[in-house]
Amino acid sequence: MAGHDGNEGLPSQSVMYSQLQPWSQAGAPPCMEPISGSTVPSRVAASYATTQRHPWRPKMAFEMIEVKHMPEQPVTNQMTQPCFVPQGMKTEGMIFPNLVTGFERNPQHAARAALYTRYTNNEWQNNNLSIYGESDTNRNMSERMRNDAVRLMRETDETASMGQRDAGRRLGERITDLTFWRNELNAELEKLISEMSDINDLQRQCSKAMLDLEIPLHIAQECLFHREGRQGMELVHDIVEKALLLEINHLRNSRDRLSGLHEKIAKQAIDCRGAQHLLEIDVTQKESTMGIDSMCHRLNNYSRGITYYGGIEKYDPTVSTQDSWALASSEHVKRSQAERAKLSQLRSDSQNVVNAVAASVWDFWNNTNNALDRRAQEMAGAKSRVQMHLQKVQQELFDMEKHLFLLQKAIQDKSNPLKVAQTRLEARSHREGMELCKDTAHDRLVMEVQDLQNTVDVLHHKLQEAEATHQSLLKTRCMLEEDLRNKVNALFIDREKCMSLRRSFPITNLIKY
């Protein structure tokens, strides 16, 4: 619809004027369609509605329209009056719409019948209003522009002076922070240097303690090797083996602990030297930075040597922020404090560690010896019980052999009764004719044979069970004899071989080195 409007190139003036004087009060439609709402103001006494804003303007092509007839205002061709036609004219006169009645016709009929007009009265009024609005708008904009320019000049002068004062204040604060951290670093550096001493004595104590652990470790390992000579089920993971393994593990851990302490002392010296180096570098850099920031703090608009450095604000050579800068210095101080604390702790704890290792070695040595004693007593009791069970098994074997002889004799005794019963049945099978009767005697003989066979089967089954039991007893006797031999061997290893090595504690000096 906007393509048919003659003033479609003034959207901003129409909208701006609508803010000063709404179109509803001006009594004329806007020259540009609003964003929302009705596109054409409602007309009074309109008899039809079309899709065009100016229905009387001609069209160059056909267009679909919608005609709405109203009962009180019918549209007919009778509402037109023919004009005067002179004599001699061959063409018909032009037909105009009835302008008196105020009724309008169909837009296609009006375009063919009416004169060609360019604008309406409403468009002319809208054009005037848009010109007035644009004039008011431009004057207001010009006045605001001048006021904004004056305000901007004042603000820029104030901003420049405030920015320079704020930068100077920030430089002063920065110098204060630099001074504080430089003093902190210098104080920490002096404390660290004073703490770094007497490290060689700590290393010598740890070396002596590690050498003293080799003898009890060798003895414990020899005991394990001797106990590997046990045989059979005596190769049990008993309390003695557990105690020996714990002792060996503790000795190795103690040796590793002392070795780690020795390495820690050597590493601590290197770490303290590294912390000292970082503190020295940080102090040197802060002193240099303080000179630069002090010079920058004294500069002003009338200082000598100031000049332009084009694009310097775009070049960012910084590698840290204010928080990371303070955090770095704090980390240096904390590292130095931590290294000093570690060094002091190593001094105070080295003697305690050595004494604790010696005491724990003594405790594990005694625990292993006590386990050997308890195991020897337990093994002696087991040996006695095995001997007792061996005697009982031997007696049971004698009884079982007699029982096997009785079972064999019982099976042999059932042979003759079975022969008699089967012979009777065979003899009765030679009867002739109707005499082959299945009488009670026949039934009883059959039952007797079955009973004897079942009895023999049961006796044979029992005999097999007795023989299996006899073999089991023989196996048990061999197992008990072997177990008794193994227990005697294990008791000899624990009492004679192991305890002979552990009668005396190899470390004489337990507390001080």
| Long-range contacts of the stretch 91-98 (C-beta < 8 A, 24+) | none
Residue whose tokens read 């503190």: 279
Of residues 394, 372, 167, 349, the one with CA closest to residue 258: 349
Neighbours of 320 (CB within 10 A): 10
- Mean pLDDT is lowest, of 58-62, 178-182, 439-443, for 58-62
Split at pLDDT 50, 70, 90, the class of 438 is confident
Mean pLDDT score of the chain: 79
Task: Provide the whole-model pTM.
Answer: 0.46
Q: How many CB atoms lie within 10 A of CB 69?
A: 9
pLDDT band at 52 (very low <50, low <70, confident <90, very high): low
Pairing of strands 81-82, 95-96: antiparallel
Task: Give the confidence band of 322 by pLDDT, cuts at 50, 70, 90.
Answer: confident
Which amino acid type is present at position 488?
V
Nearest-angstrom CA–CA distance, 214 and 225: 17
Best CA proximity match to 58, nearest among 16, 117, 144, 131: 117
Instruction: Quick: pLDDT tens for 472-509.
Output: 999 998 989 888 898 889 889 888 888 888 888 777 65
For residue 145, the model assigns a pLDDT of 93
Q: Is residue 215 a contact partner of residue 506, using CB atoms and an 8 Å limit?
A: yes
Inter-residue contact 73 to 45 (CB < 8 Å): yes
Q: Is residue 453 exposed (0-12), middle (13-18) or buried (19+ Cβ within 10 Å)?
A: middle
Distance, C-alpha 427 to centroid of its chain: 97
Those residues with Cβ within 8 angstroms of residue 64's Cβ, 6 or more apart along the chain or in another chain: 51
CATH of domain 184-300+321-429+439-511: 1.20.250
Q: Which residues pair with 82 in a beta bridge?
A: 95
Q: At residue 293, does pLDDT exceed 60?
A: yes
Please give the structure tokens belonging to residue 351: 């003697």
Q: For residue 22, how many other CB atoms are within 10 A of its CB?
A: 10
The pLDDT of 258-262, averaged and rounded, is: 88
| pLDDT range class, residue 512, cuts 50, 70, 90 | very low
Every domain of the chain and the residues it spans: 184-300+321-429+439-511
| Structure confidence by residue, pLDDT tens digits, 59-70 | 544 445 454 444
CA angle (160 as vertex; 158, 164 as ends), nearest 5 = 115
CA distance 463 to 42: 127
With helix as H, strand as E and coil as C, how does 80-137 read? CEECCCCCCCCCCCCEECCCCCCCCCCHHHHHHHCCCCCCCHHHHHHHHHHHHHHHHH
pLDDT at 176: 94
Q: What percent of the chain lies above the pLDDT cut of 70? A: 76
Tokens (6 digits) for 146: 């001048």
Mean pLDDT throughout 82-107? 49
Angle between helices 214-227 and 199-212 (to 10 degrees): 20
